[in-house]
């Protein structure tokens, strides 16, 4: 399960790293795995497992960020947009899976993760929160820098999907 959570987190971090004005939903969706890479026959079958959506008055609003929609109908990311990014990755046990969601606000120069509950590591439930590495503060103060692996994922997806993800 730890490996599934780590992989799920990497896909989420790669997507978050791309959020800034002028980028498109296609660029963000490009870093997420193809349906076949995690056991589904096509993008429609796994719709909403690697997913982003606007947050506002309705449950899911524009922009929609997914491999099914965003490549054909890209939407430009603009300051003031608020949306959720959600990722999924199955565990090797064939039964369990990891699912992580973060809420993002687009700023003039980039983004801010506004989810305050820390989700960088897999939690163990109880009165106090623990990760596989020890105790966890109940509030996240700031957003971590993307790892080398996350930066490599972004570069590889840019080449494979032929979408620009330059700085």
- The verdict on residue 13 lying in a domain is yes
- The verdict on residue 167 lying in a domain is no
All residues at 6 or more sequence positions from 10 whose CB lies less than 8 Å from its CB, including other chains:
147, 149, 150, 153
- Work out the mean pLDDT of the chain and round it to a whole number: 87
Q: Tell me which residue range forms the domain holding 56.
A: 2-115+142-161
Q: Number of structural domains, the chain? A: 1
- The verdict on residue 45 lying in a domain is yes
Q: Can you spell out the DSSP letters for 96-151?
A: -EEEEEEEEEE-SSSEEE---S--SS-EE-SSS-EETTEE--SS--SPPPPPHHHH
- The verdict on residue 128 lying in a domain is no
Taking a C-beta distance cutoff of 8 angstroms, is the pair 14, 153 a contact? yes
- The verdict on residue 58 lying in a domain is yes
- The verdict on residue 166 lying in a domain is no
Return the SS3 of 39: coil
- The verdict on residue 55 lying in a domain is yes
Mean pLDDT in residue range 112-121: 86
- 54-63, 80-89, 136-145: the lowest-pLDDT one: 136-145
Mean pLDDT in residue range 113-142: 74
- The CATH number for 84's domain is 3.90.230.10
- The verdict on residue 127 lying in a domain is no
């Amino acid at each position: 399960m730890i490996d599934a959570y780590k992989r799920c987190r990497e896909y989420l971090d790669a997507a978050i790293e791309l959020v800034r004005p002028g980028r498109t939903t296609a660029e963000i969706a490009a870093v997420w795995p193809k349906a076949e890479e995690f056991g589904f026959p096509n993008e429609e079958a796994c719709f909403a497992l690697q997913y982003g959506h606007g947050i506002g008055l309705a449950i899911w609003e524009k922009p929609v960020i997914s491999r099914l929609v965003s490549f054909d109908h890209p939407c430009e990311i603009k300051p003031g947009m608020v949306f959720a990014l959600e990722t999924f990755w199955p565990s090797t046990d064939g039964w369990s899976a990891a699912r992580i969601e973060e809420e993002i606000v687009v700023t003039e120069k980039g983004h801010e993760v506004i989810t305050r509950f820390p989700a960088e590591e897999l939690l163990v439930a109880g009165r106090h929160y623990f990760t596989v590495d020890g105790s966890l503060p109940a509030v996240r103060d700031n957003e971590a820098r993307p790892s080398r692996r996350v930066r490599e994922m972004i570069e590889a997806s840019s080449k494979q999907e032929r979408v620009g993800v330059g700085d």
